[in-house]
Amino acid sequence: MLHHLSLGTADLDLARGFYDPVMKAVGLSRTLDVEDAVGYGAGITVFSLNLPADGQPASVGNGVHVAFEVESRAAVDAFYATALAQGGTADGPPGLRPAYDAHYYAAFIRDPDGNKIEALTFAAP
């Protein structure tokens, strides 16, 4: 059972400023804020951004991304708009992804560190 997922960041202050509103758009709030990490969840921390423990620069994994399931297409749209407004980079606008499923509606962004984040739903319009 998956408990939580962490991504690296080079700047926790920048990560907080970006993720506080973006996570709110997918129904999560800040649950952890310590010297080397900030985390989000709905009760317990399920997603966090951490300064790398080895002291080396954070880097983006090729092919790695985090997907948050939301309840509606409007929530996917809100995630995308919020992420872009907070300095994220577009990596796939909101829309159907029929190659995955006829009802798979998703959007992809890159956070300020370059991590790929997705919001998705299977809800009908």
What are the tens digits of pLDDT across the range 59-95? 988 888 999 999 999 999 999 999 999 999 999 999 9
Beta partners for residue 38, in sequence order: 33, 49
- Say if residue 47's pLDDT is above 80: yes
Average pLDDT for residues 43-61, to the nearest whole number? 92
The predicted pLDDT at position 41 comes to 97
What is the pLDDT averaged over residues 26-44?
96
pLDDT for the residue 123 = 95
> Cα–Cα distance between 15 and 23 in angstroms, integer?
11
Question: Which pLDDT score is estimated for 3?
Answer: 83
What global pTM score does this model have?
A: 0.92
What pLDDT does 2 receive? 76
Enter the tokens of residue 59.
């880097």
Q: What is the residue type of 99?
A: A
pLDDT of the residue at 79: 98
pLDDT mean over 105-123: 96
Nearest to 3 by CA among 36, 37, 41: 41
Are 57 and 22 within 8 A, CB to CB?
no
* Residue 7: its H or E element: strand 5-8
